[in-house]
Amino acid sequence: MNFISKNLLKFKEVLKPFSSELIAVSKTYPSEILKEAYDAGQILFGENKVQEMVQKYEDLPKDIKWHLIGHLQTNKVKYIAPFVHLIHAVDSMKLLQEINKEALKNNRVISCLLQIYIANEDTKFGMSFSEATELFQNDNFKMLNNIKIEGLMGMATNTNNQDQIRSEFKSLKKFSEEMKAQIHLSNVELVHLSMGMSGDYQIALEEGSTMIRVGSAIFGNRNYEQ
Ligand SMILES: *Cc1c(COP(=O)(O)O)cnc(C)c1O
């Protein structure tokens, strides 16, 4: 059995006690490597760049469910709108409007997660809790019938401090529960919490993650970080 199937089998065991899915983050790896994972039964793949995801979509079997996990620019939405399964990192009304427009053109509803900023680090991406609350209350948001917000995504601080990571994941779970109780809109159904990566998936699972995004723990270390 090859290295990738062994790792996938390990995650199958890890996930057994939880109701969480494994998104295999395959960014930077060539399509042949993804095919190995696919042949071992993996159907959910995560990519962070539009062009790379489109290329791999063309190369690989069509039953793969493609998750875009990285920052998405509005001018690139059109390339993935026909096939993307879930967009994890939505962080503005402007981006949502563009996704809605392209989804409509493709006669589909595109599932999205709002990326919420939970880490104690500087980042350009993600929304604060209050920005997300305001977005749900925005009248223009309610009219977006070709998107569905299915949950929230968050990245914990890159630290060895397990307590800090845990409390950041807890804060996202708590916010999700609050929003579930408050927001009743036809384009919102908060069922997913996308949290946990190779270094912190165990904590994320314990704190209620429904999707872990794991790259290097499946495919090995990437040659370059992005
Ligand atoms: C690369 C990436 C991951 C996976 O990271 P690993 O540490 O390799 O598991 C998860 N989420 C996002 C948003 C990423 O960009």
Q: Is 214 in the pocket of ligand 1 (CB under 6 A)?
A: yes
Percent of the chain with pLDDT over 90: 94
CA distance 171 to 204: 11
Q: Is 213 in the pocket of ligand 1 (CB under 6 A)?
A: yes
Tell me the whole-structure pTM to 2 decimals.
0.96
Residues 8-51 have pLDDT tens digits of: 999 999 999 999 999 999 999 999 999 999 999 999 999 999 99
Per the CB < 8 A criterion, the answer to whether 214 and 199 are in contact is: no
In order of 94, 201, 215, the CA distances from 77 in angstroms are: 12, 29, 23
- Tokens representing 81 are 């709108």
- Tokens representing 169 are 């994941």
Q: Which residues, 6 or more positions from 23, have their beta carbon under 8 angstroms from its beta carbon?
A: 44, 45, 46, 67, 69, 194, 211, 212, 213, 214
**Closest residue by Cα to residue 211 from 114, 88, 95:** 88
At 225, is the pLDDT very low, low, confident or very high (cuts 50, 70, 90)? low
Q: Which atom of ligand 1 is nearest to the CA of 198?
A: 9
Residues 149-169 have pLDDT tens digits of: 999 999 999 999 999 999 999
Ligand 1: residue of 197, 203, 212 to mutate (most ligand atoms within 8 A of CB) is 197
Q: Is 69 in the pocket of ligand 1 (CB under 6 A)?
A: yes
CA 125 vs. chain centroid, Å, equals 13
Q: Exposure of 64 by Cβ count < 10 A (0-12 exposed, 13-18 middle, 19+ buried)?
A: buried
Helix axes 3-15, 31-39, angle to 10 degrees: 50
Residues 79-107 have pLDDT tens digits of: 999 999 999 999 999 999 999 999 999 99
